């Protein structure tokens, strides 16, 4: 089969729907609604803060950096769950995981939410044209949310075809998680993420031509494993040039509470060569996603809608790359997995190009976008409106950010799919405090003022008992909201 046979990459029914059914959709929406601001909601998968604008000068991300120069870069944004499905359900519902009751990859989006109106669905109910292109909700029936969208083009092409792979490897990494990487001969525009960006532009052009306001959810699969991207992005990162994570104290990994370890260590540790290749492949995928973001931003400028389009760039959670003595992937409650890149551009914002150190959470996106669009305020959301921060980066937001992750008591089980108990963490301006199974399976306390890498657990320090109690109380308050 040919690379250019797009029917191989997108289910045929969706292709037909896009090309033959799109122009007849929602003709009842008044052209007068075009005064409302559009929303371009860009979500990437498993991306940490290894970007140029976030301080990693080794990573080439000019287009995301450019968006940050136009909008506001949130230095301390945190997801609510460090795995894809529950994080996205929380973000798109505007509710904490204890209210969505979705903690794993197996619980479906509306398993406990019923008729709750999700973020894109709310815009649709307010007369917006809404479209999903790629991965916004988690993939497959029961996890996707058709009622949110006028057009729904779901994620496709998780793995590249063998005939497109020039070079690759699949080292035996932690647990059962995917660790493979692939250098592709595929041009950008024929990769799944490249197609997602370009289909999003086709829809954008059509809707702008009709004079309707839009909410476009554009979801990129990368840098989620397998780390697959065209060769030119791998060429940016020769493995020999990659620096490995800083070392940790001897015995550090073994000193952690067992519950804090996200995946069992492999019998044979990854070699330095394998680690460098994995990190290089991850960086290549970040740069590849950056290029697709650039395609979208160019279209916004070309169509002349930058002055009337809110743009969000965000990841569903962070990612470990060998730090903490050998952590890889996600599913932890450390900073590397909890913290995410978040950039918001809003026309007329008073602090473009600024950064803010205020604590924010992904649940804050729902009320913020509703406010920026001038829509009626939504009640009973758990997040806060960040619009004042877009005008003043020093504007206080919240005392703390909260993240949870599921754990199984069976060491052979996949923590992402089976839950027997939770880990909970609270991040304040100075501290991170974590409890596993309400403290029965371990407690951690880290002082970011002296230990930003979170390597020295202070939970047993008697002189910090009061601090520990205050943070424990914060966790209890969050659970009862």
pLDDT of residue 23: 39
pLDDT of residue 414: 80
Is residue 383 a contact partner of residue 367, using CB atoms and an 8 Å limit? yes
Q: Is residue 280 part of a domain?
A: yes
Structural domain boundaries, residue 303: 6-398
Sequence-separated (6 or more) residues with CB below 8 Å from residue 326: 174, 253, 265, 269, 270
| Whether 84 is catalytic | yes
Whole-number Å distance between alpha carbons of 144 and 471: 36
Sequence-separated (6 or more) residues with CB below 8 Å from residue 392: 350, 351
Neighbours of 459 (CB within 10 A): 16
pLDDT in tens, the chain (481 residues): 333 333 334 443 344 344 334 433 343 333 335 589 999 999 999 999 999 999 999 999 999 999 999 999 999 999 999 999 999 999 999 999 999 999 999 999 999 999 999 999 999 999 999 999 999 999 999 999 999 999 999 998 889 999 999 999 999 888 767 789 999 999 999 999 999 999 999 999 999 999 999 999 999 999 999 999 999 999 999 999 999 999 999 889 889 999 999 988 888 889 999 999 999 999 999 999 999 999 999 999 999 999 999 999 999 999 999 999 999 999 999 999 999 999 999 999 999 999 999 999 999 999 999 999 999 999 999 999 999 999 999 999 999 999 999 999 986 678 889 899 999 999 999 999 999 999 999 999 999 999 999 999 999 999 999 999 999 999 987 776 6
Query: Out of 63, 84, 285, 415, which one is annotated catalytic?
Result: 84
- Give burial (CB, 10 Å; 0-12/13-18/19+) of 76: buried
Whole-number Å distance between alpha carbons of 239 and 191: 23
Is residue 104 a contact partner of residue 416, using CB atoms and an 8 Å limit? yes
Cα torsion 133, 136, 142, 147: sign: negative
Measured CA to CA in angstroms, residue 185 lies from 190, 196, 203, 284 at distances of 10, 18, 27, 14
Distance, CA of 356 to chain centre: 19
Measured CA to CA in angstroms, residue 182 lies from 211, 242, 411 at distances of 42, 17, 30
Sequence-separated (6 or more) residues with CB below 8 Å from residue 163: none
Whole-number Å distance between alpha carbons of 308 and 223: 29
Residue 141 tokens, joined:
């029936």
At 162, which CATH number? 3.40.720.10
pLDDT of residue 148: 98
Total structural domains within the chain: 1
Q: Is residue 429 part of a domain?
A: no
Describe the crossing of helices 62-70 and 272-302 by its angle, rounded to 10 degrees: 50
pLDDT of residue 34: 55
Torsional class of 458: left (φ above 0), alpha (ψ -120 to 50), beta (otherwise): alpha
Nearest to 315 by CA among 54, 46, 20: 46
Q: CA 142, 127, 99: angle at the middle one, nearest 5?
A: 40
Q: Is residue 78 part of a domain?
A: yes
Q: Is 130 helix (H, G, I), strand (E, B) or coil?
A: strand
Q: Is residue 313 part of a domain?
A: yes
Q: Is residue 34 part of a domain?
A: yes
Q: Is residue 473 part of a domain?
A: no
Whole-number Å distance between alpha carbons of 286 and 64: 10
Describe the crossing of helices 192-210 and 272-302 by its angle, rounded to 10 degrees: 20
Whole-number Å distance between alpha carbons of 163 and 382: 47
For the entire predicted model, the pTM comes to 0.93
Nearest to 317 by CA among 136, 2, 87: 87
Whole-number Å distance between alpha carbons of 87 and 224: 15
Provide, for the chain, the percentages of residues in helix, strand and coil under a 3-state DSSP scheme, each rounded to the nearest 5. Answer: 35, 20, 45
- Give burial (CB, 10 Å; 0-12/13-18/19+) of 460: exposed
Q: How many residues does the chain have?
A: 481
pLDDT of residue 21: 42
pLDDT of residue 481: 66
Q: Is residue 419 part of a domain?
A: no
Q: Strand 339-345 and strand 328-329: pairing?
A: unpaired
Sequence-separated (6 or more) residues with CB below 8 Å from residue 335: 318, 427, 432, 452, 454
Q: Is residue 442 part of a domain?
A: no
| Whether 138 is catalytic | yes
pLDDT of residue 24: 39
Is residue 323 a contact partner of residue 336, using CB atoms and an 8 Å limit? yes
Whole-number Å distance between alpha carbons of 73 and 342: 6
Query: Out of 63, 79, 138, 329, which one is annotated catalytic?
Result: 138
């Amino acid at each position: 089969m040919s690379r250019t046979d797009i029917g191989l990459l997108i289910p045929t029914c969706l292709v037909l729907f896009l090309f033959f059914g799109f122009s007849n959709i929602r003709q009842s929406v008044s052209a007068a609604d075009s005064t409302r601001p559009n929303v371009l909601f860009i979500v990437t998968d498993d991306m940490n803060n290894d970007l140029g604008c976030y301080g990693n000068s080794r990573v080439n991300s000019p287009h995301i950096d450019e968006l940050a120069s136009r909008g506001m870069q949130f230095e301390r944004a945190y997801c609510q769950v460090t795995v894809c499905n529950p994080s996205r359900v929380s973000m798109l519902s505007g509710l904490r995981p204890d209210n969505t009751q979705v903690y794993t990859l197996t619980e479906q989006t509306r398993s406990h939410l019923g008729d709750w109106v999700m973020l894109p669905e709310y815009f649709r109910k307010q007369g917006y044209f809404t479209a999903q292109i790629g991965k916004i909700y988690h993939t497959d029936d029961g996890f996707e949310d058709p009622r949110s969208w006028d057009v729904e083009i779901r994620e496709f092409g998780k793995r590249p075809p063998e005939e497109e792979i020039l070079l690759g490897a699949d080292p035996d990494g932690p647990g059962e998680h995917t660790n493979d990487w692939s250098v592709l001969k595929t041009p950008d525009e024929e990769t799944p993420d490249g197609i997602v960006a370009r289909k999003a532009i086709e829809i954008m052009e059509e809707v702008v031509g009709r004079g309707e306001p839009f909410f476009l959810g554009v979801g990129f699969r990368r840098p989620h494993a397998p780390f697959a991207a065209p060769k030119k992005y791998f060429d940016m990162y020769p493995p020999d040039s990659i620096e490995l994570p800083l070392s940790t104290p001897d015995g550090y990994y073994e000193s952690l509470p067992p519950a804090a370890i996200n995946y069992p260590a492999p019998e044979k540790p990854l070699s330095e060569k394998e680690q460098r290749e994995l990190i290089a492949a991850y960086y290549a995928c970040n740069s590849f996603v950056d290029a697709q973001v650039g395609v979208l931003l160019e279209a916004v400028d070309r169509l002349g809608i930058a002055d009337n389009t809110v743009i969000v760039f965000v990841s569903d959670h962070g990612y470990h790359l060998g730090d903490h003595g050998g952590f890889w992937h996600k599913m932890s409650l450390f900073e590397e997995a909890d913290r995410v890149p978040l950039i918001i551009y809003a026309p007329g914002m008073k602090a473009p190009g600024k950064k803010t150190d205020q604590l924010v959470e992904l649940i804050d996106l729902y009320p913020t976008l509703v406010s920026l669009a001038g829509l009626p305020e939504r009640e009973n959301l758990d997040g806060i409106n960040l619009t004042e921060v877009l005008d003043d980066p020093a504007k206080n937001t919240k005392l703390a950010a909260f993240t949870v992750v599921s754990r199984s008591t069976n060491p052979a089980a996949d923590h992402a799919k089976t839950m027997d108990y939770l880990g909970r963490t609270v991040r304040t301006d100075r501290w991170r405090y974590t409890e596993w199974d309400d403290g029965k399976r371990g407690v951690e306390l880290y002082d970011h003022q002296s230990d930003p890498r979170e390597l020295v657990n202070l939970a047993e320090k008697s002189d910090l008992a009061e601090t520990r109690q205050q943070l424990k109380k914060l966790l209890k308050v969050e659970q009862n909201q």
